[in-house]
Chains A and B, each alone.
Chain A
Amino acid sequence: MDQSSALSKFIEDFQVFHCVDCGKCTGACPLAQVDRDFSPRLVAKYAIEEGLESEYVREKAWTCLTCGLCNERCPVGISFTEFIRAIRPLYGKEKSKGLLSHGGALQGLMRMQTAPGLNQKRLDWISPDLKVSSQGEILYFVGCLPYFEAFFSGLNVTLTKIAVDTVRILNSLGVEPVVLQNERCCGHDLIWTGDRTSFQKLRNLNVESFKNVGAKTIVTACGECSYVLKHLYPESSGPFPFEVMHLTEFLRKAGLPEKERLGGRATYQDPCRLGRMQGVYDAPRELLGAILDVREMAHFGAGAWCCGNSAWLHCDRYSKQMQVERLLEAKRTEADLLVTACPKCQIHLSCAMRDVNLHMDLHLRLQDITGVIAEAIAPGSST
């Protein structure tokens, strides 16, 4: 199938021609608030009229944040982000206008993980007090936390603390999760930047190691990993007989052990992959509500604004502006803690807090939801 007929097929599959030109997607799009040239409606229009050759589609298919807010607003139910995910691979390397952030180093690291004979050392964060096993039914999928922590060492974000806290929380429930020494990246950033081949390789390697340890349930503490494992792995070729849960869903089902109510006000940033793409809004709020006084930002739940960037694509002044807006929104709730459930939200928002001019106006304590829960279970131990 050539590229233009592939595009026609996607237009049909995602029913893009149902577009009624109402412009609600553009009105809701967080990127369109700051970048006046960007409009999901026009991407749909030009994709139908001019196809892949359209200069507009070629550029804007890559600047889209893929946060999924437009899908929520579309009255005819077009899944715009899925359409974007489908057409990105059609742009080969030469045609692509996608600008990879950090020179593409992070996608490079992910592609490196497709090598079969790899001997990674990604479990250095495990301390002696954490109980993990090498075989078992419950597997904790750590994701790229060790890589991101090393890469973003300048931001002072201790991302492996998320992994430590997750294991600590699971241990308090009597679960000794399996962690894999040679786990691979879930492939989220590769499939969203159009690299299906490497995604499939990562998927196969991961599924193989899940089978080898006898896993049945996979728990992750990352919105993206759980979205990819839950929705995109079963979609690609090969069986995927595992139940995937985000930690908050797992805790909702399993129940939390004794916890203490911590003082303080917090607000919660819904990660797009956990909220809109998996519909997990209540589980984290229930958990947080039992521990802290939760205040909602102006845009929350299904209407939550993006942290400014996804899949390490196009980190530009528009991203920065969106992040500043989001942080100011969080400040307006008078919360003294901003809780996220995705390591990337944490990275992006911490980066935005370093703004030279607005530094003190934006400064807010940022913590992952696992950190809050771990603190409530055993006060003082996770700090």
Chain B
Amino acid sequence: MQSWDSHGPILAFFCNWAPYRCYMDLCQSDSAPHYTVYPIKVMCAGRVDPAMVLFAFERGAQGVMVLGCKEKECRYGPGPAQAEKVATCIRELMHIVGLESNRFLTLTFSFNEKERLFDQMNAFVESVSGLGKSPFASAFTGRKPQPSQGNA
């Protein structure tokens, strides 16, 4: 199991509705999610703006996920489209600053996809660990994570 000390955290922005519901379901099931992923709940994936993601990288995050609802299931309407627009901007900026594009991932979920969420989170942690340290890893001064006992 990794610790934040060696690799820095991986952040996941969860939309309050479908993705966070999947995450809660996952936490209460037998297959607990990877606890190196630090969950942040937002009201909508469209709420995540470039500053949030860039700040995470600047302060030493190894990877960032933005998890939203499916296009037609958004509670507010334009959320997924807005999230995609922001993601395009972030990917372009990451390319220029020289960060690997695999460190940033956007995904959409329905309410009943906890298994898919589990697989995707693990796959993301795997792929990010394979990339090694980010150029900004030295900026990370956070605390060690508390070991989770099944339920996060």
Contact = CB atoms under 8 A, between A and B. Distances in A.
Query: What is the interface of chain B mostly: helix, strand, loop, or mixed?
Result: helix
Given A105-B54, A118-B135, A150 B98 contact: no
Contacts of A124: 96
B124 interface: no
Contacts of A105: 49-51, 54-55
Contacts of A112: 54, 57-58, 97, 136
B92 A150 contact: yes
Given A109-B97, A118-B98, A150 B51 contact: no
A108 B54 contact: yes
Interface in B50-104: 50-52, 54-55, 57-58, 88-89, 92-93, 95-98
A9 B54 CA distance: 37
Contact-residue bracket for chain A: 20 to 34
Contact of A108 (B55, B88, B98): B55
A104 B51 contact: yes
Contact of A153 (B89, B136, B138): B89
Query: What is the interface of chain A mostly: helix, strand, loop, or mixed?
Result: helix
A105 B135 CA distance: 18
Contacts of A103: 49-52
A117 interface: yes
23 contacts: A102-B50, A102-B51, A103-B50, A103-B52, A104-B51, A104-B55, A105-B49, A105-B54, A108-B51, A108-B54, A109-B93, A109-B97, A111-B58, A112-B136, A115-B138, A115-B139, A119-B98, A122-B96, A124-B96, A150-B93, A150-B96, A151-B50, A153-B88
Q: 5 closest Cβ contacts across the A-B interface?
A: A103-B51, A105-B51, A150-B92, A119-B98, A108-B54
